[in-house]
């Protein structure tokens, strides 16, 4: 698709008038999906999709359009030209945009991570045998994903990756569950079987009768997958400079005078190469951006548009100013010491359905889910019935954060709203001396 994108770009750029500037981006995938329930196939298929987005600037006005590409180059050029013609007619009717950011020319980036993926015809045979004696629900997703960006100033970026993920839940007869995600770029049957065997082994921990926990405050360990969900909340009215300026962010207090725990540090870190460093308009973000350093807010995510509107410096965040490649710093709590340090309290593997219950106060509500346990004397006692929590980032990343795990875990993004996600979060677990359960 890279060559096709270049040809479409050149064709459109050649039809611009002198006063017009055009930015293009492309995203697409060739994905296989197989959905499992009770370790059997529920739905199976493939999606071939690619989308071209156009942003036309003329006389301080801008409008945007996007079309589906059919992968017939001649016809795609015709469709793109029609869309450009529509934008040319529309842009002159729109109000001027004082915070419009003109694209600039920077070094072009090209990154291709080719992998060795399982052929779609072999997926059912490869996945099924080892799960035949357990109850598994989940989704297999695999294939090539691409992103590109160009503009009429001459910029051209390309990013392409082959990835697979098998995101699943193993379920006992008593309806207790273990979560797992086996993901990567190169399929390895033996590694898959070993990962699944380990996951199935974890079900044994759930065989004991569950205990009901009363609402209240508890010493709590939250494993990396749960911490990843809490970090995700910061992408929603959190680290965005625009949301802070508009009075909608949980970090307004942090920007003013409050501090989080000195154990808590967070950065935007593109070193892994799992996601492109260029944003939707082709700007290249710094490889590492310190967001929160030992509890102190050092940087927010600032797009060039926000920078212009509020008179601050851009760090080339994407338009939505969300975390694209977050990495929370590890601490000194060794994995073998987690239960001993927790002593008595809750061990939470995963959280579920988080939302701000008081966005400006920093309070988050959500549920415990999957393998969550009551611990006494540093040992698992029993799984717990799921509970609702409602607590503040100023507590669990602040005054109640006792220590941070020494091991970082990569939690891959397996979402697929409109298209398959790429990248993920690097997180450790956290030990809290208090965490509030409410229902």
Per CB under 8 A, contacts with other proteins among 219-278 are 245-248, 252
Q: Which is nearer to other proteins, 330 or 414 (CB)?
A: 414
β-strands 156-171, 388-392: how paired?
unpaired
β-strands 345-358, 363-376: how paired?
antiparallel
> Number of helices (H) and strands (E), helices first, in the chain?
10, 20
CB 92 within 8 A of CB 58: yes
Taking CB under 8 A as the criterion, the residue among 10, 15, 64, 216 binding other proteins is 64
The number of angstroms, rounded, from the C-alpha of 252 to the middle of its chain's C-alpha atoms is 23
- Two tokens, residue 58: 């003329």
With CB under 8 A, what is the number of residues at the site for other proteins?
89
Q: Which is nearer to other proteins, 16 or 73 (CB)?
A: 73
Taking CB under 8 A as the criterion, the residue among 103, 138, 148, 326 binding other proteins is 138
Closest-CA residue to 101 (of 280, 275, 240, 241): 280
Question: Which 399-438 residues touch other proteins, going by CB under 8 A?
Answer: 415-418, 420, 438
Binding flag, residue 354, other proteins (CB under 8 A): yes
Residue 366 CB, shortest distance to other proteins, in Å, is 6
Rounded CA separation 80/26 (Å): 12
- Two tokens, residue 224: 């990396």
Taking CB under 8 A as the criterion, the residue among 10, 43, 272, 294 binding other proteins is 43
Binding flag, residue 168, other proteins (CB under 8 A): yes
Q: Which stretch binds other proteins (CB under 8 A): 71-79, 325-333, 374-382, 426-434?
A: 71-79
Binding flag, residue 143, other proteins (CB under 8 A): no
DSSP 360: T
The Cα-based distances of 68 to 26, 344, 413 in angstroms read 10, 55, 24
Q: Which is nearer to other proteins, 151 or 265 (CB)?
A: 151
Binding flag, residue 390, other proteins (CB under 8 A): yes
DSSP letters for 75-129: HHHHHHHHHHHHHHHHHTTSPP-TT----------EEEE--BPPPGGGHHHHHSG
Rounded CA separation 131/31 (Å): 23
CB-based contacts of 342, cutoff 8 Å, min separation 6: 219, 220, 221, 375, 378, 431
- Two tokens, residue 54: 């156009």
Binding flag, residue 377, other proteins (CB under 8 A): no
Q: Which is nearer to other proteins, 265 or 425 (CB)?
A: 425
Residue 148 CB, shortest distance to other proteins, in Å, is 16
Binding flag, residue 284, other proteins (CB under 8 A): no
φ and ψ at residue 196, rounded to 5 degrees: -70, -40
Residue 369 CB, shortest distance to other proteins, in Å, is 6
Residue 231 CB, shortest distance to other proteins, in Å, is 17
Rounded CA separation 302/318 (Å): 8
Binding flag, residue 124, other proteins (CB under 8 A): yes
Taking CB under 8 A as the criterion, the residue among 101, 177, 227, 333 binding other proteins is 177
Taking CB under 8 A as the criterion, the residue among 90, 193, 293, 409 binding other proteins is 90
Residue 32 CB, shortest distance to other proteins, in Å, is 8
- Two tokens, residue 168: 């699943």
DSSP letters for 122-157: GHHHHHSGGGTTSEEEEEEEEEEEEEEEEETTS-EE
Binding flag, residue 106, other proteins (CB under 8 A): no
Q: Which stretch binds other proteins (CB under 8 A): 8-16, 192-200, 202-210, 382-390?
A: 382-390
The 3-state DSSP class for residue 397 equals helix
CB 255 within 8 A of CB 238: no
Binding flag, residue 167, other proteins (CB under 8 A): yes
Residue 339 CB, shortest distance to other proteins, in Å, is 26
Binding flag, residue 189, other proteins (CB under 8 A): no
Q: Which stretch binds other proteins (CB under 8 A): 134-142, 205-213, 272-280, 341-349?
A: 134-142
Binding flag, residue 51, other proteins (CB under 8 A): yes
């Amino acid at each position: 698709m890279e060559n096709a994108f270049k040809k479409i770009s050149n064709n459109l750029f050649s039809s611009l008038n002198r006063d017009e500037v055009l930015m293009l981006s492309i995203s697409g995938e060739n994905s296989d999906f197989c959905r499992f329930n009770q370790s059997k196939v529920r739905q199976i298929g493939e999606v071939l999709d690619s989308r071209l987005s156009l942003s036309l600037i003329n006389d301080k006005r801008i409008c945007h359009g996007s079309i589906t590409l059919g992968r017939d180059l001649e016809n795609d050029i015709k469709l793109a030209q029609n869309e450009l013609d529509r934008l040319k007619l529309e842009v002159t009717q729109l109000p001027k945009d004082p915070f419009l950011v003109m694209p600039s020319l920077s070094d072009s980036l090209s990154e291709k991570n080719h992998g060795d993926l399982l052929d779609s015809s072999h997926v059912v045979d490869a996945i099924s045998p080892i799960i035949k004696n357990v109850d598994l629900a989940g989704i297999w997703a695999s294939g090539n994903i691409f992103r590109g960006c160009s503009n009429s100033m001459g910029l051209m970026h390309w990013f392409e990756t082959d990835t697979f993920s098998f995101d699943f839940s193993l379920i006992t007869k008593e309806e207790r569950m273990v979560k797992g995600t086996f993901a990567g770029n190169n399929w390895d049957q033996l590694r898959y079987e070993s990962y699944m065997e380990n996951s199935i082994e974890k079900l044994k921990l759930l065989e004991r009768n569950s205990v009901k926990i009363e609402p209240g405050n508890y010493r709590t360990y939250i494993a990396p997958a749960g911490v990843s969900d809490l970090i995700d909340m910061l992408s929603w009215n959190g680290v965005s400079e625009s949301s802070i300026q508009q009075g909608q962010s949980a970090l307004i207090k942090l920007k003013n005078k409050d501090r989080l725990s000195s154990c808590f540090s967070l950065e935007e870190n593109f070193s892994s190469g799992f996601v492109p460093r260029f944003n939707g308009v082709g700007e290249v973000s710094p490889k590492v951006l310190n967001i929160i350093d030992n509890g102190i807010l050092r940087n927010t995510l600032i797009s060039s548009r926000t920078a212009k509107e509020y008179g601050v410096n851009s760090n080339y965040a994407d338009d939505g100013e969300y975390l694209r490649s977050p990495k929370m710093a590890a601490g000194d709590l060794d994995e073998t010491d987690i239960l001993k340090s927790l002593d008595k309290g809750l061990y939470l593997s995963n959280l579920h359905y988080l939302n701000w219950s008081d966005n400006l106060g920093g309070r988050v509500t959500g549920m415990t889910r999957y393998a969550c346990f009551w611990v006494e004397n540093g040992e698992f006692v029993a799984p717990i019935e799921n509970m609702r929590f409602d607590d503040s980032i100023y507590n669990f990343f602040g005054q109640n954060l006792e220590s941070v795990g020494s091991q970082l875990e990569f939690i891959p993004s397996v979402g697929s709203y409109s298209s398959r996600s790429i990248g993920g979060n690097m997180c450790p677990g956290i030990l809290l001396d208090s965490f509030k359960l409410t229902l």
